[in-house]
Amino acid sequence: MKASVVSAVGGGFAVQELQLAQPQGREVLVEVKASGLCHSDLTLANAGLVYAPPAVLGHEVAGVVIAVGEAVSDCRIGDHVVACLIQFCGHCVPCLSGHTHACLNPDATLRAPGEPARLQTAQGSSVNQGFGLGGFAAQVLAHENQVIVIPKALPFEEAALLGCGVLTGAGAVLNTAKVEHGQSVVVIGAGGVGLSAIAGAVLAGASRIIAVDVAEAKLQRACLLGATDTVDSSQHDPVLAVKALLPGGADYVFDFVGVRAVVEQGLQMLGKGGGLYLVGIGDGSTTVDLRTFDLMLNHNRIEAVYMGSSNAKRDIPFYAEMALAGRFNLAALVSRRIALSQIDEGYLALKDGATARVVITDFEH
């Protein structure tokens, strides 16, 4: 099977022939039809974090089930599925409460130590499988808890985005913040995840949805997802611009950037009782100063978002249904299609403001 492998920290992605085990127990074998490029995989690859090389990353996967282990009950051969990075056991208290993103036993989705690795080199040495998936590959072998059946009418390249970016962005609005109809939402950073938040705000029935970004192309795309207003923060002070649109301040601000200036601007945009939601991670070292008294006077809250507080088995079919009903413009998020061997170029393209999401659609069989 062809897979794009990270063989050295910072060394990029290169296609190799690997061996993938046959499914056992609750494992599902998926032939990959589309695999999205999420920025966190590049961060992990360049820093050598979590999954040491050699590793196959990629965690936004859509495809077709081609084999199942003997204990699989959630899907069958021929099903169209999304494979999602949220690993959950299904038995711990957070899982039983529906909060699978906070599972205490995510490793329950992996093979036990001592069992043969799912992914191996042609010579038989084991290869790390990012998030229990390894989606930059022609096939994925994953636990059924990470595999979600979707309607066959949904194009694979759109479905793939449901696995991470959409779950995070739309989930931040619908699950974490629980935005209600009639409320106002500001989304700072209109990349693929921020755009999904805009679509989520439409589904929530938000009255005003203001997209803030420095790239005009992203703001135009934000309107395709349902933004009611846009602010080009390279041209205008974003706080003044938002206050001009919402004199009482915003009910919800979502930060998809994660740098100090943006966090501070986000706080200044809030109206009484408003909440700032931190989704973007910047470079991971962002700090801010807070005047707690100001927060108290304005009774504001700040909350960090993890995976949009998503429950993939519930949320992915919902977003798929909304896309098919014309209520979530997933198609507008796919701005470029590449082959498996072009992942490095794909990540370069993501730096361009005109690109929302890059999806591998050619697995070079």
Binding site for Zn ion (CB under 5 A): 38, 40, 88-89, 92, 95, 103, 105, 164
Instruction: Return the number of the residue (93 or 348) whose C-beta is nearest Zn ion.
Output: 93
Q: How far apart are CA 361 and CA 340, in angstroms?
A: 8
**CA–CA gap between residue 59 and residue 133 (Å, rounded):** 6
Residue 115, judged by CB atoms within 10 A of its CB (0-12, 13-18, 19+), counts as exposed
Q: Which is nearer to Zn ion, 56 or 164 (CB)?
A: 164
Tell the smallest beta-carbon distance from residue 35 to Zn ion (Å).
11
CA 239 to chain CA mean position, Å: 27
> Would you say 60 or 229 has its CB closer to Zn ion?
60
Q: How far is the CB of 59 from Zn ion (least distance, A)?
A: 6
CB of 231 to Zn ion, least distance (A): 26
Please identify, using beta-carbon distances, which residue of 88 and 252 lies nearer to Zn ion.
Answer: 88
Least separation in angstroms between CB 85 and Zn ion: 6
Q: Is 201:238 a contact under the CB 8 Å cutoff?
A: no
> Measuring CA to CA, which residue among 245, 189, 246 is closest to residue 222?
189
- Between 35 and 40, whose beta carbon lies closer to Zn ion? 40
How near is the Cβ of 221 to Zn ion at its closest, in Å? 19
Query: Could you tell me the two tokens for 275?
Result: 């909440």
φ, ψ for residue 298 (rounded to 5)? -95, 5
Assess contact for 175 and 308: CB atoms under 8 A.
Answer: yes
Stated as kind and residue range, the H or E segment containing 324 is helix 312-324
Give whichever of 164 and 334 is closer to Zn ion, judged by the CB atom: 164
Q: Contact at 8 Å (CB) between 359 and 336?
A: yes
- The least distance separating Zn ion from the CB of residue 94, rounded to whole angstroms, comes to 6
To Zn ion, the closest distance from the beta carbon of 308 in angstroms equals: 11
CB of 105 to Zn ion, least distance (A): 5
**Cβ-based nearer residue to Zn ion, 15 or 164:** 164
Tell the smallest beta-carbon distance from residue 239 to Zn ion (Å).
29
Closest CA to 169 of 208, 222, 121, 95: 222
Q: Which is nearer to Zn ion, 145 or 300 (CB)?
A: 145
Q: What is the CA radius of gyration of the chain?
A: 20
* CB contact at 8 A, 211 and 227: yes
Give the integer Cα–Cα distance in Å for 102 and 119: 26
Which residue, among 134, 111, 131, 163, has the nearest Cα to 6 in the 3D structure? 134
Burial class (CB in 10 A: 0-12, 13-18, 19+), 96: exposed
Give, as one character, the DSSP assignment of residue 131: G
Q: Which is nearer to Zn ion, 30 or 89 (CB)?
A: 89
Residue with tokens 């965690």: 59
